[in-house]
Structure 1
């Protein structure tokens, strides 16, 4: 399932997207970007969507006369992170073609599975880091769980 949203429905949505773009985003892969402050780019109610959301900022304009930002579709992917937003820039013709021939769901599902695996690996790495000693004192390691525990002395 995918939501396709008219990005011109609310007057602030396109200007928010343009303003957020001035702050920049990081290119993860060709055509796929990560915005560190997703709420600067996209409406907050769509950031928490459990399915991809495609934004169309063209409105009623003619696709040939509109600027390249309006001609491109932007697919916001579901994320575990409430601050960062991962989105893809998709040419309109490519989206229509892949949606009609069925490739769209395969590509999106594969990418979302890849994102999920990366998230799981990050969580495992955090867990491993929490088990590492934080400092060395009196010839023994102090681990995070022990570092904050008070010792009872008699």
Structure 2
């Protein structure tokens, strides 16, 4: 249900019960909301890719032969899975970890210092997005052999 209110800034919609079929297209989520949703998505991504992480860790430490097979997965792939897909899954895991870690630090900082203002929420959310994406791009460039 959308109501309008009279104020000096003009008429603005007030969303009370957001309908997913009608209101979601026009609802503008703040940057902090996106970071919060991405924090949950990155946590789910890390949880779902946990078997892949355990496999990577096990193969990288078991022996020199298994380490060779592990590094070969990034060159030749794994079975029917091509190498670019292994790298893409690893890049997704890198983003998930970095975003979840930085957003978690953001939440811890806000909890510890009681910094719960709109301004700090927006600036820290932008910082979280920029730093996590920049570090992901940097490590992704290394993963795909650009440097």
TM-score of the superposition, structure 1-length normalised?
Answer: 0.28
Q: Which of the pair is proportionally richer in helix?
A: 2
TM-score of the superposition, structure 2-length normalised?
Answer: 0.29
Q: Which of the pair is proportionally richer in strand?
A: 1
